[in-house]
Amino acid sequence: MTDHDLSVHPATPGDAAAIRDLVLAAYARWVPLIGREPRPMSADYDAAVREHEFDLVLEGERLVGLIEMVLRDDHLWIENVAVSPSAQGRGIGRQLLARAEDRARRAGRTETRLLTNGAFAANISLYERVGYVVTHTEPYLGGVTVYMTKQLAPPVTA
C-alpha cells in the first residue's frame, strides 16, 4: 500500500466480525439499487476466514478494506473486494486487486476471475480500467451477474 498510514495483514478467525461489519457498510449503498442485500452481506465470515485467504487493509487500527481470495487449479478467484465508504476513492480497491494478481502469479496462475452484479456500474468500470474483461453474464434474482477475468503475464524468472 502506498498510503503511509495503511498496512496490510492476513485475516485471522478473530477478524470475522470486523470483516462482516466492513462488508455491510461497503455494500449498503447497493441495497436501494437492486432492492435486496447483495450476496456478500449475508455470507458466513467465520467460515470464510477459515476457508479463504483474506488481505485486510488497516488504517491505524481500523479496517478500511479487504480482498477475499480462493486459489483454484487454474486461476485465482476473487470472492469479494470491499472498501469502507469513508476510504473509497483512495485507490485501495485497485491496490487490493493488484495484490491478488501478485498472489496468483506467485502461485503459478496466469488468470484472476471475479463476478459482480450488472447493476454495479462503478465496480464494472473499475475492473475494466485495471484490465478485466467480461466473459459472460447470466440472470440472477431479477438482475444480471457479470463474470469477468484478467489474463496475467506469467512471473518473470531469473
Strand partners, 67: 55, 81
pTM given for the model: 0.92
Mean of pLDDT values over 139-156: 89
6-151 adopts what CATH topology?
Answer: Aminopeptidase (3.40.630)
Q: What's the CA gap between 65 and 141, in Å, rounded?
A: 27
Strand order from edge to edge, sheet including 143-151: 6-10, 53-59, 62-71, 76-83, 111-117, 143-151, 133-140
The three three-digit cell numbers of residue 5, written as one number: 498510514
Give per-residue pLDDT as tens, 70-124. Answer: 999 999 999 999 999 999 999 999 999 999 999 999 999 999 999 999 999 999 9
Res 4: pLDDT: 63
User: What letter represents residue 99's amino acid?
Assistant: R
Residue 141 has pLDDT above 90, yes or no: no
Res 155: pLDDT: 65
Residue 5 has pLDDT above 70, yes or no: yes
Give per-residue pLDDT as tens, 18-37. Answer: 999 999 999 999 999 999 99
Give per-residue pLDDT as tens, 40-64. Answer: 999 999 999 999 999 999 999 999 9
Phi and psi dihedrals of 16, rounded to 5?
Answer: -55, -45
Res 157: pLDDT: 64
Res 153: pLDDT: 86
